Amino acid sequence: SIAGFGIVVFPERGYSIEFEPGWKQFIKESRQPADEDRADGSGPGSFHRNCRDAGDDILSSASGDKTDAQDKQDTCRDVEIFARAGIPDHLTDQQNPVFVAENEVQRFFSVYRHGGSLRFLIYSQPGEGVNETIQQVAIAGKDFSRWEIYSEPGETSNGGGALLPLQYPLGPLIMYYLTVRNEAIMIHASGVHDGQRGRLFTGFSGAGKSTISGIWREAGSMLINDDRLIIRKRGGRFLMYNTPMFYEDVPREAPLDEIYLISHSPVNKMKRITGATAVTRVLAHCIQNNYDKGYIENHLTFLGDLCSRTDVFELGFVPDGSVVDFVSERQQK
């Protein structure tokens, strides 16, 4: 599983499934998580769903047809992905998008209405200028529990056909849409756990998310991730999870106790914020596709609950180990 979500991938008959290196290692390690990657030290089982071993949640079946045994396990699945070979021309129309994700140098994806579903055009990465070469087409069911992903197959080392359905940026995009329909958010942030408390650091680009999490790591904390996290409410508490990145990593999770809105400062200083101010400040760093008011409402509801149960602080910090002592001393008062 990834962030506690059960994901199953079915290739079209006659094809195999391939994953990018970061995903491949993450999936492999999720089968047998190491004790040191558990924030509570309870050993293997942290990444298991209640009904079955999470190591089996991510599957590549021999064909696109589900077996009777797989049908019986559907309650363990949050999303099913069906990988199709080839991109049909009728699915590549680029007129009237409802949302386009791009920056000044690259187009990432665009979203279109598709009957009662959504159609995503995923563009080749990386590129310079607005690249409109279509890498994949994805059709998502309206509750995002089923995806059909069309892409041109590649070749395996033995000459067979291979499909890469979770190729960047579609893999992280599917994870985002899982948060839309669950009690969860995806946020640009770093997270650490010192064995007692879980801390999340967020801020705009250049604020020091990687720097401050690295400082805590050097002080002995476990690093969850230094760039992107999923926050979920499970069993009445909030947990932070890492997700597959472009580099190899292992699954990690930890309870979330404190949120810090960080910035560089000549001196260490912190101030608690609450209520609507805390919600809007944290929301600014959440990953959002805000073309549907329902998505916004879900985020606001989740963040309202999160910020009412979790301490939120503004933290200006000096980029050295003094900030660890500073925060610890303030919390003991």
pLDDT at 164: 95
Cα separation, 321 vs 182, in Å, equals: 37
Q: Are 135 and 151 in contact (CB under 8 A)?
A: yes
> How are the residues of the chain apportioned to helix, strand and coil, as percentages rounded to the nearest 5?
25, 35, 40
- Residue ranges of domains in the chain, CATH in brackets: 7-86+152-167 (no CATH), 183-332 (3.90.228.20)
pLDDT at 56: 36
Q: What pLDDT, in 10s, does the model give residues 44-94?
A: 223 233 333 333 344 434 344 444 444 434 446 899 999 999 999 999 999
pLDDT at 29: 84
DSSP string, 198-232: EEEEE-STTS-HHHHHHHHHHTTPEEEESSEEEEE
In the predicted model, residues of the chain with pLDDT beneath 70 are 31-76, 127-131, 157-158, 333
pLDDT at 160: 75
pLDDT at 53: 37
Q: What pLDDT, in 10s, does the model give residues 156-184?
A: 766 779 999 999 999 999 999 999 989 99
pLDDT at 129: 57
